[in-house]
Structure 1
């Protein structure tokens, strides 16, 4: 839960910055948000969450 919340906050900041800079327009941002919302209710949600968790674990194990 903590990882998914931090990913949501990070992505929200990225979208906000892109909207502020004019790189991303409102309609495509809403379309992408709607796509993500409906994708989360499909059977692909579990593999996507597993992949994101694996990536987070991989990044956590990297010693800088």
Structure 2
């Protein structure tokens, strides 16, 4: 739950920023779609959540 709340907050801030500078393209539309799936609990939400958890796990293993 903590990761999804963080993702919602970060994606919400990113969408707000992109709308503020009027720079919303197709990639940004995908971000908005992920934000919408996280906010709602539709049948597709578990699939999107699993995808985001996988990306989170991958990024967590990267060492810079």
Smaller-chain TM-score bracket: 0.5 to 0.7
Q: Distance in 1 between matches of 2:42 and 2:17?
A: 29
Cα RMSD after superposing both structures: 2.5
Gaps of 5+ in 1: none
Unaligned runs of 5+ in 2: none
Query: Which has the higher Rg, Structure 1 or Structure 2?
Result: 1
User: Structure with the greater relative contact order (CA < 8 A, sep ≥ 6): 1 or 2?
Assistant: 2
Residue 15 (1) aligns with residue 15 (2): yes
2-structure distance, mates of 1:18, 1:8 = 15
SS at match of 2:20: helix
Deviating 4+ runs (over 4 angstroms): none
Number of residue pairs matched by the alignment: 55
